[in-house]
Amino acid sequence: MLTRSSPAHRSLSLPRLSLRRPQSVARHPCLPSFHTSTRRLLTARVDLPPRRRKIPQDTYGSAPIFQRSLATAIGDPIRQDDIPFEHMPSHMPNSFMQPLPHPRLYDIRPFDSSSLLQIKALDDAPPRMRMNVNGIPGGVDEMMSVFDACIQVGKLDRAALVLSRLSDAAVLSPHEMVALHNQYLRAYLNRAFEQPDVEWARSIHKWYELHIRGKDLPQTSETIACMLKVSLLSARGVRLERLVTRYLDMMPGDAMYQVLSEMDILSQQDFGTIASIYQPASDLFEEFDFSPEEQSSSSVAPATSTSPSEPKKSERDESPEVLSVPQKGLGLQSLRSVLTFFSKVKGEDVSRLTIPERREIQARMEQDCVDAAINRWREENEALKKMGLNAALSTHALNSQLYEWQHALETRLEKEFALFEKSESRDKKTAEDHDRCITAPFLSQSTPSRLAAVTIICVLNSISSTGVDSGIQLSTLLNQLSKGVEDDIKVLIRQRQSPPKFKRGKRIRQPKVAKQQDGSVSSPAESPSAEADAKPKTVEPAAFQTKAWPLLIRTKVGAVLLSALMDTAKVEMVREHPETKALVSQRQPALSHTTMHRRGKKVGLVMPNKFLVELLKREPPADFLARHLPMLSEPEPWTKFDKGGFLEFPAQLIRVKYGEKDQRIYAEAAMQRGDLEQVSKGLDVLGRTGWRINGPVFDVILDAWNSGERVANIPPLHPNIPTPVEPEASDNPLQRREWFRALRAAENLKSGLHSERCFMNLQLEIARAFRDQTFYFPHNMDFRGRAYPIPTYLNHMGADHVRGLLRFAKGKELGESGLRWLKIHLANVFGYDKASLKEREAFMLDHIDEVYDSATSPLTGKRWWLKAEDPWQCLATCFELKAALDSPDPTKYVSHLPVHQDGTCNGLQHYAALGGDLWGAQQVNLEPGDRPADVYSAVAELVKRGIAEDMEADNFLAKAVDGKITRKVVKQTVMTNVYGVTFTGAKAQVLKQLDAAYPNFHQDTDVPAAIAASYIATKIFKGLSSMFRGAHDIQYWFGECAGRVCRALTPEQIERIAQGGEEIPKPLKSNSRKQPKTATDHLLTHFRSTVVWTTPLRMPIVQPYRKTGVRVIATSLQDLSLQVPERSDPVNRRKQLQAFPPNFIHSLDASHMLLSALECDELGLSFAAVHDSFWTHASDIDVMNRVLRDCFIRIHSEDVIGRLLSEFQARYKGALYLAKVDRGSAVEKKITKLRKDKKRTLTEELVHEYERVRLLSSADPKDVKKGKKMVTPASIFEEMSATQPYSSADEMEALGLGNIPNAEAEAKVIDDLEGDGEDDDFSTPAGLDDIEGELGFSNPEHFKALMDVSRFESEITGAAKAKAKKPTNLGSLNIWLPLNFPDVPAKGDFDVARLKESKYFFS
């Protein structure tokens, strides 16, 4: 691609605004050859006269190309590097830079720490102002969102007020302000076309003179083009000539080219008029050769025109005839009527249509789901009226009542819309007026009818998904409702802003030349574009953005809609009079708002009416937004952060929680410079896998469901849960407390089963609708890179019944190998997965009769399949095996069943490879073996061995649990320990297994099951720590690195502090009882460096854990205290360092999965994954297993930890961190003496040390000499060759692999990771939580004595005070040290290449 050079002095910073462009204003066909995709400020230096310059054009002749500055090269879409660099020798002393001879998509790219993606840190956000008298909010992000919404709906007077307040506040740069002004000018031009006004041109000229020129804002080509358009439309004769000449004379030379590239503003007719008035422009046009390739048109085709293949509205609304199937709930017809595309295909398989037709159907399904729901509610309501029934009195008429809700809510919103103008124009505004001023621009982007439907759908789905009995938290409901409304409005905006279909006019042919920065001319063959390989290292993100609604907007919009729904939605309560037996009805609100106290805080709840609860249990809502449903066409490939997956519905590449900006900024920058090519294409591979419903399994599930009985994991319709008998009044209050706890447990169990059944009902409804179709699951990722399907309810990551329902759309012949693996798969899903492959194959032959019986009579036969670990998947396999064995040649049978290969505790596999643990590698099948090793059984044996030793010492706990340790008891704890489970979590996991296996454990052993669970968890942790010693050391290294990063200040921060812009205050005195804040406490607020690393697939991972501030937002329902995350928030150091080890392992297994997906796709395999469980056809298992091993070896053959260390050293170069030195040491004494002499503050020491480091790194020997003479605490530390201890050891104690924390460390972890717990239960044994970790059950007799003492008695008598004495801690001293990282732990002897021979790595 040929480009013209930019002037050297132009700014290299990215624009800080992310703004949507409104519709174009040109009303005639334009010159496409003048198009450019960027906006450049008119500050270019003029080196050549305009008539001598030519606009370079791309190789396709579609548009001229203007080279952007280096930083803006990040705006390019994903692309493959088309310039080979393999032949170039690398001179970097980096062991990770090993160029591949012919890089393939599934190869790991070379790592270069010098080209890391860095995001420039932002200054503190400007203080939030109060809402002014005009109803304009005070936050900059809020003002910009309101401005953008006002532009969308044409509220230009309100947009002008926002611009004026932004200008007065002076919080945006001139470049940002002129970008907003350009949007305003474009919107004004559009209004001029639609609503001609005599004064409109004068108003625009006045605005331009006062607010743009008058305030010396830097004008862009877009600004000048807009003013030229105004002049051409409003002036004639001499005035027009004067205005055109005036505006074009303002341009600095070659900027004329930029103005002439504004094809969406200026039409071809405008260019002709300009050329006739302005001679330099006329000379420019003479240089171009016009060739009439296609006839131009005088009008633009409307964007909303209906394509020939699109059916008419009447065809879309026609309901198809559907065979009725006996099922409780809505059934197929109710759901299919939501999806209007079925009215055209009439049950045919959509996959047989052409790709464009399938995409058209999918797009219409995404667009029409809301309108279709309204139509269905109306039709059911009218059908009941024709039958002479009252919809409100019909006990099974939820959907007809929804139409009444929708109609009432629509009427209420129409009244609300009518009040918008009055509230905005009122001089003295009330609180309601201020709320309307904020919400009006956003709600006006939709219609009352559509808003009402989206509100009903979102509220009912949110309540159903969380459990209809217990209600839903108000803040959660408002967030989900506003998110649904925001997404729906984005779909509407995208439809309105779809590009018009131009007919091409005259195309301008250009010589393919490009200007270099020195003015020379080169051809593409001689010199590749510098822009093509430009990869910026540091990117300046947008300070403010309007892509997502700010928290204030979302909360206000959600509150308005929810409040209106609660006021209008009614249900008719029908009850029988106890005496007269007559039916009595009463209209009651369907939803109510209440408050309750949770963990000492007042929490708002939205509770559904009991009658509505009964309706939702019988008839769950079958109205889904597009993101809830699978796709009927292949998902859109991911090309941008927010472009991919669904065709119309907005989706994000990475699931980022609201307000967490860092991950999105890094991901967008990496996406735009091409770093996420492998990741995005890996997600595309997962999305392209076609699925179908397994018909035989679905029929069995439907029969089981309609029976109302418990079958496998299907909850019973009427569960038999006995209610505990209330005890008689007695002097012992503990008896009633125990009864209350048992009663609450029974209610929770019943409510949980109801919630499960409601959720399962939604899944079955979707499965029925898609039964005859091929469908797809678009995927995205969490911030660690783990892939998830976007459709919520029905996907292959669901429970056993959902996995049993799904099969591949594409089938493959089994062959000998496939038939063998299908038999092995039966053993795996049955639970016989720890035997050898031969034994598993023989398992099927040994149970051939049971297999045939299960497939022939699944519910009326022996029901052998229900004994399986995964019964529904076992039944699916039985159906497949029977069909294959009954065929003439089983090896020729075309199988559609996904066959799974599961890793052996995948997290421990990565840890064993990282640490080189030979013993650990053997336990997780990294080492070849004749039989599969089982780490869970190995840990269970270690636990049994420890218990046997304690029994010899007559330990009563060992006697209580002897013979009760099984693989199942320890499995979950072992599996989750690698991902950071706390000791408290491990105890709960073991307790759950003990309660399930031994419900009468306490009565049989006289030992509470909770105490036994703590004892067993202790043994599990000890066994893990001995088995994975190398992994244990790496976890601590991870934590120490993260801890240092989170206590570091960047060079930019230090420079601001040195210049006085970011002062660290001195200790403050306080009259409160709390301890006064020290300088260190204030310093903690400046620690903002989060842990960032890059995966082997070049995806940047940013940990989001910060100490977020809280903002109180007043709504019509209640005042809400909501967290408002900001990039300037200080990091939560404890969460950062404790979450880093499991998150890093997650990022590795995600990289392994995506790498495997890419290679399998290259080999033609169908591929699906559930984290560490990989699926393909039975005939392809051998190939997939080879790919899995090769990809794992490819990742771990490199020095993963060494590469991470190299990245940390480059990413945090030049930073200083606050280290701790133990008091009483020789280093501490010498530093204390220095401080007494120098009397420097902590801030002064920071600046002094930064200056010393700067001088030592200088190339000038004099500076180096000067730096060596400086004496600082860090220089003393280095002089005495002190080694920095692991300052994060205390925080890692509670989460280290196999580490048993003390009570204090455990409490801190629970407080940080899980929030404040509930009040202590004073009926639990006294102090056991305090002593079990510290004593480690080393004093069983004391432990046994405390078992009979309640916590209340313990607190009164002090019985639990006998704790182990802690060593005296003298404290520590804080000093500034250059940020370096500890040495990587030594690696063990295991060679990952031996994995090639392991056939049980995944099996």
What is the phi/psi pair of residue 128, to 5°?
-75, 130
Distance CA 568, CA 448 (A): 14
Q: Is the sign of the CA dihedral 430, 434, 439, 440 positive or negative?
A: positive
Half-sphere exposure of 249 (CA within 13 A, CB side): 7
DSSP letters for 265-324:
TS-HHHHHHHHHH-HHHHHHHHTSEEE-SS---SSPPPTTPPPTTSPPHHHHHPPPP---
- Three-class secondary structure of residue 1048 per DSSP: strand
The pair of structure tokens assigned to 1331 is: 């002593």
Angle at 786 between CA 781 and CA 792, to 5 degrees: 55
From 1181, 1215, 1287, 908, select the one nearest 1053 (Cα to Cα).
Answer: 1215
| CA distances, 1111 to each of 124, 432, 477, 1117, 1122 (Å) | 17, 20, 18, 16, 5
CA–CA distance, 1372 with 407 (Å, rounded to integer): 68
Query: What do you get for the CA distance between the two ends of the chain, in Å?
Result: 49
Has 954 been annotated as catalytic?
no
Q: Please confirm, yes or no, whether 54 is among the known catalytic residues.
A: no
Which is nearest to 1174 in space by CA: 780, 912, 797, 824? Answer: 797
Provide the β-strand partners of residue 1221: 1373
Name the residue among 261, 1089, 262, 1094 with its Cα closest to residue 673.
1094
Q: How many angstroms separate the CA atoms of 1226 and 1361, rounded?
A: 36
Residue 113, Cβ neighbours under 10 Å: how many? Answer: 19
Count Cβ atoms within 10 A of the Cβ of residue 1370 and give its class: 0-12 exposed, 13-18 middle, 19 or more buried.
exposed
DSSP SS3 for 781: strand
Residue 1331 CB neighbours (<10 A): 23
Can you state the angle between helices 174-194 and 221-234, rounded to 10 degrees? 30
Residue 351 near residue 774 (C-beta atoms within 8 A): yes
Identify which of 749, 751, 694 has the alpha carbon closest to the alpha carbon of residue 874: 694
Which one from 1172, 1180, 1329, 1330 is the annotated catalytic residue?
1172
Task: Tell me how far apart the alpha carbons of residues 589 and 556 are, in angstroms, rounded to a whole number.
Answer: 22
Local structure of residue 1325 (DSSP, 8 states): B
Token reading at 725:
């008998």
Token duo for residue 786:
């783990």
Catalytic residue, chosen from 971, 987, 1019, 1135, is 971
C-alpha closest to that of 48 among 287, 264, 289, 219: 287
The catalytically annotated residue of 76, 371, 487, 902 is 902
Q: Look at residues 921, 854, 910 and name the one whose alpha carbon lies nearest to residue 883.
A: 854
| Residue in 176, 137, 175 with CA at minimum distance from that of residue 158 | 137
Using a 10 angstrom Cβ sphere, with 0-12 exposed, 13-18 middle and 19 or more buried, the burial of residue 559 is buried
Which residues contact residue 159 at a Cβ distance below 8 angstroms, ignoring those fewer than 6 apart? 147, 150, 151, 184, 187
The two structure tokens encoding residue 414: 């129409």
Q: 371 an active-site residue? A: no
Encode burial over 917-933: b for 16+ CB neighbours within 10 A, e otherwise: bbbbbbbbbbbeeeebb
- CA distances (Å), 1010 to each of 564, 940, 1006, 1013, 1313, in order? 48, 19, 12, 5, 22
CA distance 833 to 825: 9
By the 8 A CB rule, do 1102 and 666 touch? yes
So which residues are the catalytic ones? 902, 971, 1172
